[in-house]
Structure 1
Amino acid sequence: MALLATNPAAYRTICHEPEGNTALASELRGHPLDRAAKSIVLRAKRAKQDGGGRYALAVVPGDRRVDLDAVGQALGSSKVGFADRTTAERLSGCVSGSIIPFSFHPDLELLVDEELLTHPHVYFNAARLDRSIELCTAAYRALAQPHVLAIAA
């Protein structure tokens, strides 16, 4: 919210019943599901000799799924899966179901599906289950500075 308040961004706050499911939250907000920014923290495993892994925040339209192979290709990994809940919440700074489509953590790379950015506005929970944001897509792209690619299935 501080980022939006301190930058010239066209946005609107929407208060609603608590909801973390993208489809149900979209109904409460009153917009088509394809305009919802569904945000999922993923882990791309490295080769065994490297150990560890790399994390990404994949943001796709609400009516689509994340294409794990496409994310793996973008991150140079053949094994991509969902991060565990504790890690996802730590890296995103949000509780599960309210993860915002921004990354403020240096270990969380932001990947956004190109199709989501074709609409004039994007919608997402505002790090809370009972509050959402309608944000001008151009402002989102300028503020978030994501890697934009085809990652939705």
Structure 2
Amino acid sequence: MSLTIFEQLTALLDKNHASYRVMKHPTAGRSEEVAKIRGTQLGQGAKGLVCHIKGNGVKQHVLAILPADKQADLSKLAHQIGGTRASLASPKEVDDLTQCVFGAIPPFSFHPALKLVADPLLFERFDELAFNAGTLERSIILNTQDYKRIAQPELISFIRDEETQQ
């Protein structure tokens, strides 16, 4: 199931002449663990959260991408999209919308009902982004500007303020 997402990803990246590499590795449950295995900085990780945005007539599923060393402010995300509240999607919804398990979601949306957004900080600190590629055993390390050009996420600031991250 998830291998299909991996194949879609690599086909998309190849078609768009992206600079990337694939890394096979043991399953790692947390962003810190997988960054060590990959040999990348934690902030290079592109973490994806599947969320529901509701309120003000808005009912939208969103794939929100942010650096792995930061936390999302779901309230800020909801307001930026025009809703009043946001929550994380259920495991079933995540599977239906991404064909991936939690932790393996790449920063690309292949489902028409899943809006792709990214926090601008993702593009400001590192030349390469790293992410699980539809499976917990494979990562892609991709040129940051190639990601931005190919995925074309809507840029929305939704990182939780530093003082509230502790």
Instruction: Answer whether contact 1:20 1:98 (CA < 8 A) is retained.
Output: no
Instruction: Answer whether contact 1:125 1:131 (CA < 8 A) is retained.
Output: yes
| Structure with greater strand share of residues | 1
CA–CA separation in structure 1 for the residues paired with 2:156 and 2:55: 21
Does 2:105 align with 1:96?
no
Instruction: Answer whether contact 1:20 1:96 (CA < 8 A) is retained.
Output: no
Instruction: Answer whether contact 2:46 2:122 (CA < 8 A) is retained.
Output: yes
What letter corresponds to residue 108 of structure 1 in structure 2?
A: L
Number of residue equivalences: 150
Give the superposition deviation at 1:93: 2.1
Give the superposition deviation at 1:55: 0.6
What letter corresponds to residue 22 of structure 1 in structure 2?
A: S
2:114 maps to 108
CA offset digits 1:11-69 (Å, max 9, x no partner): 0111111124222111110111111000010001235xx5x821100111001111112
Using the size of structure 2 for normalisation, the TM-score is 0.86
Which of 122, 127, 138 is the matching residue for 1:131? Answer: 138
Unaligned runs of 5+ in 2: 1-9, 161-166
1:6 maps to 15
Using the size of structure 1 for normalisation, the TM-score is 0.92
Unaligned runs of 5+ in 1: none
Instruction: Answer whether contact 2:79 2:85 (CA < 8 A) is retained.
Output: no
CA–CA separation in structure 1 for the residues paired with 2:145 and 2:153: 12
Taking only aligned residues, the RMSD between alpha carbons, in angstroms, comes to 1.3
Runs of 4+ in 1 over 3 A off after TM superposition: none
